[in-house]
Amino acid sequence: MSAENTLLYVDGVSVSFDGFRALNSLSLIIGPGEMRAIIGPNGAGKTTMMDVITGKTRPNTGTILFEGGTDLTRMDEAAIANLGIGRKFQRPTVFENHTVWDNLELALKNPRKTWSALAYGMNPKDRARIEEILDITRLSPRRERLAGSLSHGEKQWLEIGMLLAQDPKLLLVDEPVAGMTDAETEQTAHLLKTIAGTRSVIVVEHDMVFVRELGVKVTVLHEGSVLAEGSLDSVSANRQVIDVYLGR
Amino acid sequence: MPRALRLWAAMLLVVAATAATLSGALAADLKPLVRNLGAGGFADTEAAIAALAQTGDPAVVPVLQALEAGDLYVRKEDREVVRGSASNGGYTLTDPLGGAALGEAGRGAVDKIRINNSLRRAISAALGSLTLMSPDAGARRAAADSVFKTRNPDGLAALETALGRENDPAVRSIMEQARAAILLTAAGTPDADRLGAIETIRARGDQESLALLNAVRSAEGASAAVRAAADKAFEAVEMRLSLWGMAQNLWYGLSLGSVLLLAAIGLAVTFGVMGVINMAHGEMVMIGAYATFLVQDAIRTYAPGLFDASILIAIPVAFLVSGAVGVLIERTVIRWLYGRPLETLLATWGLSLVLQQAVRSIFGPTNREVGAPSWMSGSFELGGLVITHGRLWIVIFAFLVFGLLLVALKRTWFGLAIRAVTQNRNMASAMGIRTARMDALTFGLGSGIAGLAGVALSQIDNVSPNLGQSYIIDSFMVVVFGGVGNLWGTLVGALALGTVNKFLEPYAGAVLGKILVLIFIILFIQRRPRGLFALKGRAVEA
Amino acid sequence: MLTRFLLLGLDKRAGVLLTVLAVLAVAVPVMALAVPPDSPFHLPMHSVSLLGKYLSFALLALALDLVWGYCGILSLGHAAFFTLGGYAMGMYLMRQIGPRGVYGHPELPDFMVFLNWKELPWYWQGFDQFWFAALMVLAVPGLLAFAFGWFAFRSRVTGVYLSIITQAMTFALLLAFFRNDMGFGGNNGLTDFKEILGYDIQAPATRVGLFVATVAALAAGYMVASSLVASKLGKVLVAVRDAESRVRFLGYSVERYKLFVWTLSACMAGVAGALYVPQVGIINPSEFAPAASIEAVIWVAVGGRGTLAGAVLGAVLVNYGKTYFTAALPELWLFALGGLFVLVTLFLPKGILGLAADRFRKREPAAAVPAAASKGA
């Protein structure tokens, strides 16, 4: 495999915790602008994969390159985020004691240095951008509410909105529709497709309906490595995938 | 030599002497010799002492002892030497040989036989050689020891005679060492004998051998061969002694470590297993110590015969009292604060203040005395180590408590239930474990163990309302250093910190040593935020 | 830009607090110096110093609230920074004694003469100058905090672990300062001060002056803290408190933010200590005691964690209570303080101001929250 012309290049990454191999020589390539769904049973290493890409966990071995040249395994979370990799957690994590507006203000792509934060003042450009995101995420009426008082679905959207504000090149989204109503799920799928645009997106999800709705290439993880890759229909027909995951 | 041993030797001497006097065969011949003690100046007395020693008769021993103690007097009327003890305004006189009563005498009627340092040396040398032939092995041993110390060349002849007769190998070796010491000190010993003597002293290998060898190697006029041998022997002994010194430090470290272990192990349960920061943990220890005090007080009043068992009786009492207080605290305060560690910390700190003040109001601010039972006082020697019984029992107790706790957590249903609740509350609850009750019991267990620590600490520390405070920071350091949630980590942490502390003390002093240990832990936490034996993986992050 | 920054912090609460402080700064000097002693409005001198002491504690509480209330770092060692600031000021005051000490040595403080020291240790140099001492009041606690925070935050020591090592830090300092050969007066600390900036430290005018300086420092500290928490930096801090790893994934270097506010807070605590020392007339190692730091935490908790005015209020209330209890019912003080810890954490987790704010908020009509039916769990 070559890292050229890839956005994310993961090669031979292994991670173990106390002897348990969470990732076992995992390799994965995401091209610019590509949306990819990752599925797999519990313990397949989906969340650990995200942890490794975003710098939360250091791999024992393996290479992770961003935009073909930047080695992510040596950087911390903040530095990786500043390269343009955004992450949405499985459980919605927004800043509950901040208003919706402030949450977006914090996420907005601006210098992250301490002094810049101290000297920051809201400017018309930023204001317009936040308004725009509020519209996209349908949170405009909630802008002055504390994020902690939002409903589960609204929190998910706010978090997606925050990702949007971050303006990342690569988005990692962990189970965005867990615990959502069908209507919310549909809206979320729409929302994700809207914001994907020119960005690359990795979505981890259990919900097959949702994955089908996205209609993108699917990677199946099993025991820390890739079991199958392809369209949802082709992996669904894969014997091994049926054995370990989908069931007969 | 430790005072106890000396006392013991003296007692044996008295016993031996009394036995000999009863036989009384030679007593009459000694009379003129004893009389010479009071003949005139220091030189005459010294000669008389030597003459007495020459007899080799054990009956002389009490006479010389009386002389050494300054109890011998010369009766003015007949120049007879008598033993006197002060009694209202005058003296009660007895015969120094045999102890027959000789009536009373006024102050003016007797003259004390004065002794100086040179006489004292002569007396102890004489006593030494006299008892070398005592029928009692212990007395002979003590005498040989005393000859070793005085190294009086005059005693050499007596010593060699005694050596010829000696059958007890232990006593024999001490006699040989004494002989070697005399040979090394005396002028004019042939080199061959000196070399042999050096070997003997080297084999002895204690602090006194070191001093002796040092004297030999720096003595003027010694031949090169002797010097070289002495040098080598000196180094060997020094090495041996420094190894023993290290062993002693290790023992002190182990001893301190076991105290830390006792104090921290309860915390390892409440903090490590339950994740509850109990700042009142020290007060649970304090309550255990006060429970011990109360138990002992009650036994002193109602059943003094059980005094030696008081500490043993206090163990379950302290466990139950501290445990009960722990359960009470858990039910009333801590259970409302699960999942809020910082708030728990503050609330339990408040509780610690309340408990301290409560104990201060009830028992007063002063220290309470908890006595040591007979089996916990005294000490024994192990090679070059001095080990006190009290410390030894505390070390054993600490390991016992640790072992029992380990078994309780790993092998019993109760332990299984505790681990189940801490790992997955809902699941445990669904399986029929009453989680609330388990919380209370676990906290009670941790507190009860703190109470056990209190029993042990009552033996080595002041039982005061502040007792617990002095241990709380140390205990947290141990648990955090060892790794939270890992009992073995607590064990290793406690022993390591105790040992490091004791090894630093000789170089840095106690306070600076402690500061260094604190700084070390602060830095250590930076390297391994989750302690020595950290749990890894995703479970920790949750 | 600075004006804009400071304006950020001017909300209603700040207005009330600054007004109260302004009134104090005028009324106390008048009542203490101008009102005749037989008047009921006269304020005795010891009360002025007592008030000054409360307000310097309030500044310490403010500093603590900045890190605990807004950034979630529960420091159980803030009294260490306070005391270090106090020692820096104490060293200046000791040098001002000059040859007027009991032993009359032209340069060495009494305790050094007593210990047979021949010359001033190097670290006492420069403390005869007020500007240097003032700089050290900020620099010493600041540098210690920076070094401590640099290691601790980079290694991501958080929560209870951090609290415990801050305890260890202040405990180590306590042990160190008890040692005579550290050169800080050992057990007795520094005391018997004579003058400050050339004014007699016992004179009523000086003491009133010190009080006014404390009020000014508290006001300034409040403005800085209040503007800080209202700025975007403040929002980042709160975000760190609530969801630290989320902040990292947004690209903020959490360590730097923590280090910034931690160091700033230590400097504030140092200033508080420097103002405390001349007003109580002594500084000794017992101020390093772990208990002192934990007590400061309860001031903040009582007033309301995460409300700056609450920290000030809590410090003054609890310390007033302490003065009252230790005089009237000394036996009961520890019961009261201990009980306060328990009751506040159990029943008043947001403190007095938090409770007041909740009451206030409840009167506003709550917007209806659509209950989203969730599928699955």
The nearest alpha carbon in chain C to B541 belongs to C245
Please give the residue that has the higher pLDDT: either B225 or B361: B361
What pLDDT, on the 0 to 100 scale, is given for residue B281?
A: 93
Three-class SS string for chain C? Answer: CHHHHHHHCCCHHHHHHHHHHHHHHHHHHHHHHHCCCCCCCCCCHHHHHHHHHHHHHHHHHHHHHHHHHHHCCCCCCHHHHHHHHHHHHHHHHHHHHHHHCCCCCCCCCHHHHHCCCCCCCHHHCCCCCHHHHHHHHHHHHHHHHHHHHHHHHHCCCCHHHHHHHHHHHHHHHHHHHHCHHHCCCHHHCEECCCEECCEECCCHHHHHHHHHHHHHHHHHHHHHHHHHHHCHHHHHHHHHHHCHHHHHHCCCCHHHHHHHHHHHHHHHHHHHHHHHHHHHCEECHHHHCHHHHHHHHHHHHHHCCCCHHHHHHHHHHHHHHHHHHHHHCHHHHHHHHHHHHHHHHHHCCCHHHHHHHHHHHHHCCCCCCCCCCCCCC
CB A176 within 8 A of CB A92: no
Shortest Cα distance from B297 to chain C (angstroms)? 26
What 3-state DSSP class applies to B314? helix
Q: Do B536 and A18 touch (CB under 8 A)?
A: yes
pLDDT of residue C67: 96
Contact B536 A48 (CB under 8 A): no
Lowest mean pLDDT across B390-394, B404-408, B417-421, C29-33: B417-421
Chains that touch C (3 or more CB pairs under 8 A): A, B
Nearest Cα of chain C lies from the Cα of B462 at a distance, in angstroms, of 20
Distance from CA of B481 to the nearest CA of A (A): 20
pLDDT single digits (tens) B178-227: 888 888 887 777 888 888 888 888 888 888 888 888 888 877 777 788 88
Query: Which candidate from A89, A102, A119 shows the least CB-CB separation from C235?
Result: A102
Write down the pLDDT at residue B8: 59
User: Which residues of chain B does A48 touch, with a Cβ-Cβ cutoff of 8 Å?
Assistant: 538
Which residues have C-beta within 8 Å of that of residue B510, sequence separation ≥ 6? none
Give the pLDDT band (50/70/90) at residue A98. very high
CB-based contact A78 C235, cutoff 8 Å:
no
Q: Is the pLDDT assigned to residue B7 strictly greater than 70?
A: no
Highest mean pLDDT among A176-180, B232-236, B440-444: B440-444
C-alpha closest to that of B284 among B262, B309, B306, B310: B262
What 3 state SS string does B457-489 have? HCCCCCECCCCCHHHHHHHHHHHHHHCCCCHHH
User: Half-sphere exposure (CA, 13 Å, Cβ side) for C10?
Assistant: 6
Question: What's the pLDDT tens digit per position in B68-109?
Answer: 888 888 888 788 888 888 877 788 888 887 778 888 887 778
**Residue in chain B nearest C157 by alpha carbon:** B529
Flag if C250 and A81 touch (Cβ within 8 Å): yes
The verdict on C163 touching B (C-beta cutoff 8 Å) is: yes
CB of A48 within 8 Å of a chain B CB? The answer is: yes
Distance from CA of C3 to the nearest CA of A (A): 11
Mutate to test the interface with B, among C259, C341, C346, C347 (most CBs of B within 10 A): C341
Q: Which residues of B touch A17 (CB under 8 A)?
A: 536-538
CB-based contact A93 C239, cutoff 8 Å: no
The sheet with strand A20-30 has its strands ordered as A20-30, A8-17, A61-66, A70-71
CB pair distance less than 8 Å for A18 and B538 = no
Confidence of residue C375 (pLDDT cuts 50, 70, 90): very low
Helix locations, A108-217, DSSP H: 114-119, 124-136, 152-166, 182-196, 208-214
Cα–Cα distance measured from residue C151 to residue C141, given in angstroms and rounded to the nearest whole number:
16
**Of A112, A120, A151, which is closest to C251 when you measure between CB atoms?**
A112
List chain C residues with CB under 8 Å of A56.
Answer: 245
pTM higher than 0.90 for the full model?
A: no
The highest-confidence range among A160-174, B250-264, C210-224, by mean pLDDT, is C210-224
User: Nearest Cα to B266, choosing from B323, B202, B316, B181?
Assistant: B323
A-C Cβ pairs (cutoff 8 Å, strict) = 105
Whole-number Å distance between alpha carbons of A180 and A178: 6
Structure confidence by residue, pLDDT tens digits, B376-392: 888 887 777 888 888 89
> What crossing angle do the helices spanning C78-97 and C159-178 adopt, rounded to 10°?
20
Cross-chain Cβ contact B333/C346 below 8 Å: yes
Number of A–B residue contacts, CB under 8 Å: 9
Chain A residues within 8 A of C149 when measuring between CB atoms: none
pLDDT of B47 higher than 50: yes
Q: Tokens for B121? A: 């040396």
Minimum distance, in Å, between the CA of residue C241 and any CA atom of chain A:
9
Q: What pLDDT score does C364 carry?
A: 46
Are the beta carbons of A98 and C252 separated by less than 8 Å?
no
Chain C hits for A153, CB-CB cut-off 8 Å, are: 372
Find the mean pLDDT for residues A50-73.
89
Please answer yes or no on whether A20 and B538 come within 8 Å at the CB atom: no
pLDDT of residue B170: 84
B366 compared with B31, residue with greater pLDDT:
B366
Looking at domain A8-246, its CATH superfamily turns out to be P-loop containing nucleotide triphosphate hydrolases (3.40.50.300)
Q: Which helix (H) or strand (E) holds A62?
A: strand A61-66
Distance of alpha carbon C269 from alpha carbon C62, whole angstroms: 8
Q: Is the pLDDT of residue B20 over 70?
A: no
- Say what the ipTM of the complex is: 0.88
Mean pLDDT across chain B, nearest whole number? 83
SS3 A126: helix
What mean pLDDT do residues B492-504 have? 89
Show the domains of chain B with their CATH numbers: 3-164 (no CATH), 245-541 (1.10.3470)
**Token pair for B281:** 């943990």
pLDDT of amino acid B109? 80
Percent of chain A with pLDDT over 90: 25
Yes or no, beta carbons of C242 and A117 under 8 Å apart? no
Q: How far C182 CA sits from the closest chain A CA (Å)?
A: 37
Give C236-287 pLDDT, tens digit per residue.
Answer: 999 999 999 899 999 999 999 999 999 999 999 999 999 999 999 999 999 9
- Determine whether the interchain pair B522/C74 forms a contact, defined as Cβ–Cβ distance below 8 Å: no
**Which pLDDT does position B141 carry in this prediction?**
82
- What confidence tier does A100 reach under pLDDT thresholds 50, 70, 90? very high
Q: Which pLDDT score, from 0 to 100, does residue B538 have? A: 38
| Percent of chain A predicted with pLDDT > 70 | 98
Residue predicted with more confidence, A174 or C75? C75
